[in-house]
Structure 1
């Protein structure tokens, strides 16, 4: 599969995720801990039910993606239900309980009814598009939810989808690295970095929508971290060493919020 290069449309999920190039998710694992990244590569995990809802929403919004299979059980606690669920996973599908589909459809409909989000998904483009390129000497891949002049990534959140909530999510989950990674790969493939937009929908009713673009500071941080991840990957690969946390004893300092909290209480 290492022969994949450039833009590839309609590549099955299993083929994309099995590819031996570095993804933005892998880059974020490397930045956290090369040892954790290596362990996850050597111990691939089975599908996680926690992600099924998001996969289903993506499929309904984008009109392509995972095969949603609705199962008419109250839950997945019984042996029969678990066997049917696992059979769907084995076939590459997403098992969903019939009773859980109404809020998922409502979430997808909210995205498509949002004027700005709808315009982005109505661009001349292609959903679920994979790009492969060598960046800084590292074979890399990126999978755009919607590949167009303005690339779009659809995210669901259990929190807030406004700009303040998404700023916290972007910092916590490394979406600045994802932004940089996708644009780095795109630039190698096409010669243009393009723009990148996040469409974020709250999973709980009334399914509020936020449409966000990272500012210059976030973008610069992401590019620096993405570059560092590639450098780390090359160094670990060449030396076959995948370090965890620092071995020497570490001096632990209090977080800023704890210091501020102590000051506030002293002044009260």
Structure 2
């Protein structure tokens, strides 16, 4: 999907295109991403607002983006903005120029940190083997169509019968990973990406979806993880719910909020247990 074909008929496939083109959604009439599906499964009204009101890059995402660049070898340029204070006029001007050029501005401590993260990951045998240079391709864009709905995904790393996704986080303790997966609906993402790869015949039915979680603070611990069958099944059902809301919203213009009528709200379950014991 090059600049010459953006206006031509698009066919399902795997494309090597820039991230900004992918995120701008080159599919005429629009396509649904995993991020959109996760928003739809939670609240269609919020999805529609976010779709109509795209937000600029947030500083909070810069370290994760930079880590992806150094770990996967693909992504925006990282630029050191070396000021003691980032709230000075000169610093703000330089930061704005860096972002306008599509690069990521980083403080010296942040740049040193992501370099240390990449080195720590290379020392983790399983993670390093999954991301071994030449064993796969980074940041390729998948586009496919089913039931009249175009969908898209951009795997971090695609290799023979494996989809690898790299996540930066605050804790790689397995119990905390479980909470993180639920909070950010990573089980939906895993099902969405694997389904897309199946549809495009890039992987077989036994393909693995593997997460590499890494902490953003020293000693930059790493955990390689897969989701169990139940988690993947819940992700699939949530994606089916999202696709229903997407089709219904596009057909009717109705994007409901959390509850269409007056909600009956209980106290948290732990409070009820306290008074019922």
**Given the two structures, how large is their TM-score scaled by the length of structure 1?**
0.93
Per the alignment, residue 96 of structure 1 pairs with: 106
Partner SS for 2:237: helix
- Does 2:56 match 1:46? yes
Cα gap change, 1:108 to 1:4, in 2 (>3 Å): farther
Residues 22 and 141 in structure 1, CA contact (< 8 A), matched pair in contact too: yes
Per the alignment, residue 269 of structure 2 pairs with: 256
**Given the two structures, how large is their TM-score scaled by the length of structure 2?**
0.90
Correspondences of 1:68-83 after superposition (within 5 Å): 68-83=78-93
Residues 245 and 255 in structure 2, CA contact (< 8 A), matched pair in contact too: no
Q: CA deviation at 1:258?
A: 3.0
Correspondences of 1:1-268 after superposition (within 5 Å): 1=6, 3=10, 5-9=12-16, 11-19=17-25, 20-122=30-132, 124-148=135-159, 149-158=161-170, 160-190=171-201, 192-193=204-205, 194-262=207-275
Partner SS for 1:37: helix
Residues 162 and 209 in structure 1, CA contact (< 8 A), matched pair in contact too: no
Partner SS for 2:259: coil
Question: 1: distance between equivalents of 2:85 and 2:195?
Answer: 43
Question: 1: distance between equivalents of 2:45 and 2:14?
Answer: 31
Q: CA deviation at 1:261?
A: 4.7
Question: 1: distance between equivalents of 2:270 and 2:216?
Answer: 29
Question: 2: distance between equivalents of 1:200 and 1:16?
Answer: 24
Question: 1: distance between equivalents of 2:236 and 2:97?
Answer: 41
Q: CA deviation at 1:215?
A: 0.1
Structure 2 runs not aligned, ≥5 long = 1-5
Worse overlay, 189-198 or 132-141: 189-198
Partner SS for 2:109: helix
Partner SS for 2:155: strand
Question: 2: distance between equivalents of 1:240 and 1:28?
Answer: 19
Deviations 1:26-85 (A, max 9, x none): 011111211111111111111101000000000000111121111111232112211211
Residues 214 and 221 in structure 2, CA contact (< 8 A), matched pair in contact too: yes
Deviations 1:93-121 (A, max 9, x none): 11112232112211111112100001111
Query: Root-mean-square deviation (CA), in Å?
Result: 1.6
Question: 1: distance between equivalents of 2:177 and 2:195?
Answer: 22
Name the structure with the higher helix share.
Answer: 1
